[in-house]
Structure 1
Amino acid sequence: MAAVNCHFFQLSRHLKPSRPSFSCSASQPSQNNIKVIINGAAKEIGRAAVVAVTKARGMELAGAVDNHFVGEDIGLLCDMEEPLEIPVVSDLTMVLGSISQGKEVGVVIDFTDPSTVYENVKQATAFGMKSVVYVPRIKPETVSALSALCDKATMGCLVAPTLSIGSILLQQAVIMASFHYNNVELVESRPNAADLPSPEAIQIANNISNLGQIYNREDSSTDVQARGQVIGEDGVRVHSMVLPGLPSSTQVYFSSPGDVPNARPTPSNQKGGTPQESGLWPREISVGTEVFHQSKITSS
């Protein structure tokens, strides 16, 4: 068996990751900066977004909304060296109203909850602001309702299924490979049994469906539960494992006689406060191909 692997990873000066500290510039914000409101700012992913916005050119943090840590300075909450003088508030409408009085471009980044995201986007749209939504387990009907709302208001809204660059690269690699193989199976691992198959696995299955390809033709039966769940009408199978204590992972296997490629992003910690620790980019991407020769085994 021969294996070919390609690895892309971020280099670090330290063997052990350390939590960095950040400082804010005291210079006057530009009038052309995009005003960014982060809804769900006290969450780990929200804090990572706060740090990213304060370090980005052309952006200015204009509000931090959350039901937790109300009244605390969001800069200190994100372990910055100096406060941002922006308190966490629970009233999204109040923040939207204060920002809409100016002529600057505003955007709301929503990390809240599937049950509240529609009303949040509706409020932002009413104040003339676009929304970027990253809410795991958002229902397809909610996405459809958001699409109809924004079409009617002629206002843009981006619903991101993932913020992980590793997951995005995986999905792109899977789409390219799907045109060359007739068999495909997804294997995923999650720490709990909620919402399986995962939204990521469903997204990957949908991405490689309706491309004129029918997969696993020789094994199309759905009677054997051990063969996994078939997603869509093109035969993509998903196998979900529940392994508490281990990071979430997704692997995609394609096959044809003599050629078995697999693609997977190395799992990253979703509990950290920095973009890397929050899964905003991967520590490592691995794409491998195993090539083997079949041989006949006989017994007498």
Structure 2
Amino acid sequence: MAMAMPVVASTYFGLKPTASRPLIECAMPSSRTGTIRVIVNGAGKDIGRAAIAAISKARGMELAGAIDPLLVGMDAGEIANLDEPLEVPVLNDLVMLLTSLSQSRTAGVLVDFSEPYSVYDNVRQATAFGMRSVVHVPGVDMDVIASLSKFCEKASMGCIISPTLSIGSLLLEKAAMTAAYHYDHVEIVESRPDTSVCPSPDTIQLANNLSGLGQTYNKNDLSTDSAARGAVVGDGVRVHSMALPGLCSSMEVHFSAPGEVLSIKHDMTNLQSLMPGLLLAIRRVVRLKSLVYGLEKFL
């Protein structure tokens, strides 16, 4: 049976119950042995909505809370376009939600889709309340990650910070790193539907990983004078970004040697492609006692 939290939602939301807007209480999902209780922070974002749907349908998981400042009071199932409400209201107070869930002995995970500036505090708060964290927020500073790593290790609490949740993208990266030992020329071409982040975190991560293999690529073509040749990242890796409305997110890696070209490509048509990686991260993080950077460590 659901247990009502001590704070009544009508007071917290600043709303008064009416016939058309009934009183909503912050309900805690039922506790089942072995069930992972998940909070989604950034529930109103497209990826947050997809995550709510995936978590609510995943075996061994239940949505324990949703955080978003713009959708306070709405049902999480409603914003995720599910057929039925989940009876989990969207809140805007992470600490209050963590406080209520900390009373449960079942495993808890905070999934953070917030902003780079808030990741540090969010992970520390979740850790302090005995919850693990899965973070998928582009642009988190590496100094922040290093500080959180020390904090999580000291607290013996797990955390996964991953620039990408796409298993296909990670498999492309593994294949590219294997191929890189055999080729002297490499260029990465990405396609995106917008210019919000170019190059994307996935592309930068791949270029940096290829740069850590002890060789310099494109040795005769390292000039940055021509913008049409793209950016040079790391040890000579050429990166090109194409952004047009209507394009799916795509990454191609082209290697060349005398007489041959090897091309590896991965396309993402929608956010559903990230959900298997997210569920994998949630299941793995509850077993960790420190911070792990990159979902590829679990493939």
**TM superposition score category, shorter chain reference:** 0.7 to 0.9
Instruction: Look up the match of 1:49.
Output: 51
TM-score, normalised relative to structure 1 = 0.76
Residue 218 of structure 1: CA displacement?
2.4
Write the distance in 2 (CA, Å) between the matches of 1:245 and 1:196. Answer: 16
* Structural RMSD (CA): 2.2
Look up the match of 1:133. 135
Q: Percent identity?
A: 54
Higher RCO (C-alpha under 8 Å, 6+ residues apart): 1
Distance verdict in 2 for CA 1:185–1:52, change over 3 Å? same
CA distance in structure 2 between the partners assigned to 1:206 and 1:280 by the alignment: 25
1:239 partner letter: H
Give the Cα separation in 2 of the matches to 1:196 and 1:76.
32
Q: Indicate conservation of the 8 Å contact 1:39/1:110, yes or no.
A: yes
Judge conservation of contact 2:250–2:267 (CA < 8 Å) in 1.
yes
**Distance in 1 between the 2:90 and 2:195 partners?**
33
Change (3 A) 1:242 1:42: closer
Q: Deviations over 1:89-135 (max 9, x none)?
A: 11111111111112111111111111211111111011111100011
> Do 1:134 and 1:162's aligned partners in 2 also have CA atoms closer than 8 Å?
yes
**CA distance in structure 1 between the aligned counterparts of 2:32 and 2:220, rounded to whole angstroms:** 62
| Mapping for residues 40-79 of structure 1, pairs under 5 Å | 40-79=42-81
Which residue in 2 is equivalent to 1:171?
A: 173
Structural mapping, 1:254-269, within 5 Å:
254-269=255-270
Change (3 A) 1:140 1:194: farther
Instruction: Verify: 1:110 aligned to 2:104, yes or no.
Output: no
Q: Find the counterpart in structure 1 of residue 182 from structure 2.
A: 180
Structure 1: gaps of 5 or more residues: 1-26, 283-300
Pair 229,81 (structure 1): closer, same or farther in 2 beyond 3 Å:
closer
Equivalenced residue count is: 249
Return the alpha-carbon distance in structure 1 between the equivalents of residues 275 and 40 of structure 2. Answer: 16
Q: Do the aligned residues in 1 keep the contact of 2:222 with 2:236 (CA within 8 Å)?
A: yes
SS in 1 for 2:216: coil
Equivalent positions of 1:137-148 (< 5 A) are 137-148=139-150
| Higher Cα radius of gyration | 1
Question: How many Å apart are 1:281 and its aligned residue?
Answer: 6.5
Structure 2: segments with no counterpart, 5+ residues: 1-28, 278-299
Q: Which residue does 2:252 correspond to in 1?
A: 251
2:212 aligns to what SS in structure 1?
Answer: coil
Distance 1:193 1:58 in 2: 38
Matched with 2:99 is 97
**Cα distance in 1, alignment partners of residues 83 and 192 from structure 2:** 36
* Equivalent position amino acid for 2:78 in 1: L
1:226 CA displacement: 3.1
Instruction: Give a deviation string over 1:22-70, Cα, whole Å, max 9, x none.
Output: xxxxx96522211111111222211211121122222121111111221
Instruction: Sort the Cα spacing of 1:48 and 1:191 in 2 relative to 1 into closer, same or farther, 3 A.
Output: closer
